[in-house]
Structure 1
Amino acid sequence: MAAYNKPTVEISEVQAVLRKHFRSDVTAITPLEGGNISAVFSFACLDQEYIIKFCDLTGSFETEKLISNLLSSQGVPFARCMELGKFKSMNYLISEKIAGRILNDFSYEQQQRMLPEVVQILTRMNQVKSETTKGYGTINASGDGTYSSWREHIIATFAEEQADSFWEGWHSLFETSCLEKDVFDECYNRLLAYATYNEPHRFFIHGDFHQYNILSDGQRITGIIDSNGKYGDFLIDLATLDWHIKTHLKLDVVQIYQDYQQEIGMDIPNFKERFMGATYYNGLIGLRFYAKMGWNDAYYELRDELLSLR
């Protein structure tokens, strides 16, 4: 399986799309770094800044627009979506641009100072109300989780058959990439064992919560972007943040998180077991993704960490 390449979009093509939605002149169209799935540009119109993203994967962005409405309507600083459409073989999404730069751009001291605020926003986001929805796992365009249980979501996530998706034919990675089947199977079995502790819990999960999807002005957190939304145990998001913070900053975000939960009187039963289940879940997704993208060093680092867990 070849590494995935996000679509190539020319400035002239961006201009053609934006003319459909903006009557006034659009200026400062600028390609942005980052984003492994989408081609992303910023632009301005009448002194307001926006983002447009292009993706050629089926069903791109419908759920993101729904999640944007859910989070922004309940006080979570998430980019509000404006327009959704198709251009050639791609989907595109136009949203407001949140001021600031990704958290990872700032110094160690600045990130360390802002981590308590990151934890507070994470807690607020995980507790948003979505009583009219049902299901677990990946949020679909109707706002429901795709599966009837968390375990069913896990099994579907790592099933061999993944037709018409980013992971179609992914088992070929065992032959064509650094992905090792014995390692994957061992971690998958550990995941299923710990998932028993995660299964009873259903909350909103961002799904990709780390420094590259958190924006700041250097003093405070200005917003959150790029959710891969799911319903399940909110410790999935903490495990994601923990992996990135440990890797880049060597800071104990789990302790900061637990201190805040104690401060607000929030009890988290079976924390250790649920966190292990969350770590293996994220870890398996990470191993497979790093292998597909050809990021061998990241793969081996994560592999060694997962195998060392007990």
Structure 2
Amino acid sequence: MAHVLVKPHMNYDEVIKLLEELLEEPIEKIEEAPTGKVKKVYFFQYKDKEYVIRFSDDDMEFKFEKYLQETLRGKKFPLPKFLSCGIYNNLYYAISEKVAGNSIHTLDEKELKAVMPSVIETLIKLHSIDITAYEGYGWLDYKMKGTFNIFFEFLQSFFSKDQEGFWQGWYELFSESFLDYNVFNALYERMMELAKFCEGRRYLTHSDFHYSNIIINNSEIAGVIDWGKVSYCDYIFDIATLILEFPDYNLLEKFHTFYKESNFDTSNFTERFLCAAICNSLDGMRFWAKFGRQEAYKSILDNILMILNKYDFKSE
């Protein structure tokens, strides 16, 4: 399975040294940013502007951002301006402009409603990119090809027992943490039953469209960041991620209407959503189990069970 990277080691002094080599004038206000599990990120100021430098063991994300910037040129897609990239101390780095604004999960219901047109517009631009020249499903390789032949294999790979990197040995969580095997497996089996509704649907997806990755400013998306999980699969996966973040806002029906009006295939929309929602929830459950956060784990579990109770009618 791809995307098994771990966060690289790059200390403050090394970052300062690199930036001094790259830039003509001194930098100011450098600070490490809170990040996920695969990148080391620093914010800094240069010539009165805010920038971001990211370090990774893999440069696929940076290559994809350059591709996306070219593909969506002139379409006003909220992608932070990509400035430069290279290799330093056996790590890949990329420098881009820092996006000003607040992450979407900080919005209340009124603010979310105001920004929804911008969210829809952004997603539809992304999901409308023509990928017919590229084959496969799942994570992209260096030739922009998906790394799996069918969607079922891609979905199955998420939770296979044998993993490398961050999820290596994750099955031990069933015996060493509060991660309940019977509950997890029941949800997994239902997800795989629903996978047939997503099979054959190929779109370019961000695949991590939530939390701090969507930056809002003045009721519009100012930037979509963190493209490390970009993949080919059903566009419903991007939608499900956002719906799960705001379970009380009845977003499923709104997304269905918008996508239908935009001439997307919305057949079996609910079943496809449930497949994606379970996948997202299972990943979140094991993540919080790994870090001992039982309250966060239970919140995700309660939420997906509520959604299944509301929408899942065991479609044939």
TM-score (norm 2): 0.85
Q: Deviation at 1:49?
A: 2.6
Paired-residue identity, % = 29
Q: Assess if the C-alpha contact under 8 Å between 2:6 and 2:166 holds in 1.
A: no
Distance 2:250 2:21 in 1: 47
Q: Deviations over 1:83-120 (max 9, x none)?
A: 44455575433222223232234454323211221122
What letter corresponds to residue 212 of structure 2 in structure 1?
A: Y
Residue 216 of structure 1: how far off its partner (Å)? 1.8
AA of the residue aligned to 2:276? A
- The match for 2:66 is 69
Question: 2:188 and 2:209 mapped to 1: Cα distance?
Answer: 22
Counterpart of 1:23 in structure 2 is: 24
**For residue 235 of structure 2, what is the amino acid of its counterpart?**
F
Give the partner amino acid of 2:66.
N
How far apart are the structure 1 equivalents of 2:287 and 2:14? 29
Amino acid at match of 2:257: D
Is residue 195–residue 272 contact of structure 2 (8 Å, CA) maintained in 1? yes
Contact 1:63 1:143 in 2 (8 A): no
Structure 1 position 54 matched with structure 2 position 51: no
Deviates more, 1:206-215 or 1:62-71: 62-71
Could you state the TM-score of these two structures normalised by the residue count of structure 1?
0.86
What SS does the corresponding residue of 1:20 show, helix, strand or coil? Answer: helix
Question: How do 1:71-150 residues align onto structure 2 when only pairs under 5 Å count?
Answer: 71-73=68-70, 74=72, 75=75, 76-88=77-89, 91-150=92-151
C-alpha separation in 2, matches of 1:107 and 1:192: 34
Once the two structures are overlaid, the 10-residue window that deviates more, 168-177 or 259-268, is: 259-268
* Pair 1:150–1:265, CA change in 2 (3 A): closer
Gaps of 5+ in 2: none
Cα root mean square deviation, aligned: 2.4
Q: Once the two structures are superposed, what CA deviation does each residue of 1:32-75 show, in whole Å capped at 9, x if it has no partner?
A: 345454332211223443211234xx53xx22113212332213
Q: Residue deviations 1:107-145, cap 9 Å, x none?
A: 543232112211221121122223332211112233221
TM alignment of 1:237-252, pairs within 5 A: 237-246=238-247, 250-252=248-250
The alpha carbon displacement at 1:218 in A equals: 2.9
The number of aligned residues is: 299
After superposition, give the CA deviation of every residue in 1:268-289 in whole Å (9 maximum; x if it has no partner): 1111111111112212222222
> Per the alignment, in what secondary structure is the counterpart of residue 130 of structure 1?
coil
Deviates more, 1:271-280 or 1:250-259: 250-259
> Are 1:185 and 2:185 matched, yes or no?
yes
**Cα distance in structure 2, aligned partners of 1:98 and 1:224:** 9
Q: Distance in 2 between matches of 1:183 and 1:79?
A: 40
- Unaligned runs of 5+ residues in structure 1 are none
Contact conserved, 1:102 with 1:212, CA < 8 A, in 2? yes
* Residues 161 and 170, structure 2, Cα contact 8 Å, conserved in 1: yes
Which stretch of structure 1 is more off in the superposition, 123-132 or 79-88? 79-88
1:28 maps to a residue whose letter is K
Give how far 1:245 is off: 1.6
SS at match of 1:19: helix
What is the one-letter code of the residue matched to 1:179? L
SS at match of 1:93: strand
**2:53–2:96 CA contact under 8 A, matched in 1:** yes
Alignment of 1:124-273 (within 5 A): 124-163=125-164, 165-227=165-227, 228-246=229-247, 250-273=248-271
- Helix, strand or coil for the counterpart of 2:167? coil
Aligned to 1:280: 278
Contact 2:256 2:269 in 1 (8 A): no
- Secondary structure at the aligned position of 2:281 is classed as helix
Residue 266 to residue 202, structure 1, CA distance change in 2 (3 Å) = closer
Amino acid at match of 2:272: R
* Cα pair distance change 1:159/1:107, threshold 3 Å: closer
| Conservation of the 8 A alpha-carbon contact between 1:206 and 1:230 | yes
1:232 partner letter = C
Paired AA for residue 180 in structure 1: D
